Amino acid sequence: MRALRILLITVVVLGGLFVAADRVAVGFAEDKVAEKLRSSEGLQQDPEVAINGFPFLTQVLGGELDEVQIGIDGMQASSGAGKVTIAELDARMRGVAFDSNFSSATAAEATGSARIGYDELLKAAKVEPVEVAPGVTAKVVGLSDGGNGKIKVAVQATVLGQTLPEPVEVVSSADVEGGKTVKVHADKLPKLGAVPVAEQRMRQITDFEQAVDGLPAGIELDEVTAEKDGVRITVKGTKVQLAG
């Protein structure tokens, strides 16, 4: 009995040491991934990285991690000829396989979401006055939450040299097109005073799009919904190239 008790104590102690070593190793790996992402993406601070699944060391030996979660604030993404700041980016990647020298990695599946503030989305709108009818110009001066997943677009109009006292508000829908572009289009076009404006001309102001390029290969935009502080975009992908 004493020998059995000693054996059990030994097993428990060794198991505890293995768990401790495993947790130290995963913590070290998470820090290194965060440092690498900060450097490669030009971030102001380290992102949050969590490598899930236990034990970590056996996952490494097998060449595949069960799940990796990443959270990034203030990431810059390409947008046509310019840049757009992604306020929040959260990603969950499953089945992350890597080669023996850790130079490349591919996720079998990835899901996540990103938030783009209205001030960033406004960069894609017509913020310079555009003539929409003889003697009538209009421009977008603001974006905000329109409720029920819609975007409220504020349009400032000038009629025969007189600026209307209040911007005209337009409720718009946002959709994803082609997996890379957010498109905003007015549900119903507004009237600018008593002057008739052709729909095609008016939509040059109210409707616009924002491309989001530079995402990892295999990732595409899925859905977009307006929220209080900006638009929430869900992303998804398979066989996502993370490195290499």
What are the pLDDT digits (tens) for 108-144?
Answer: 998 989 888 888 888 777 678 888 888 888 888 889 9
pLDDT digits (tens, 9 = 90+) for 197-236: 777 888 888 888 878 776 667 788 889 888 888 889 898 8
pLDDT digits (tens, 9 = 90+) for 168-186: 888 999 888 888 888 888 8
Name residue 111's amino acid.
T
> How many structural domains is the chain composed of?
2
Q: Is residue 238 part of a domain?
A: no
Same domain, 109 and 124: no
Say if residues 185 and 207 touch (Cβ distance below 8 Å): yes
Q: Is residue 239 part of a domain?
A: no
The structure's pTM equals 0.74
User: By residue range, what is the domain housing residue 145?
Assistant: 120-211
Q: Is residue 53 part of a domain?
A: yes
Tokens (6 digits) for 104: 């490349």
Pairing of strands 130-133, 136-147: antiparallel
Say if residues 78 and 214 touch (Cβ distance below 8 Å): yes
Beta bridge partners of 237: 110, 219
Per-residue pLDDT, 144:
92
Tokens (6 digits) for 147: 């409720």
Q: Is residue 77 part of a domain?
A: yes
Task: Using alpha carbons, select from 180, 236, 178 the residue that is nearest to residue 213.
Answer: 180
Same domain, 61 and 135: no
Tokens (6 digits) for 39: 């450097």
Beta strands in the chain (DSSP E): 48-52, 64-79, 82-98, 105-116, 130-133, 136-147, 150-159, 162-163, 168-177, 181-186, 208-211, 219-227, 230-243
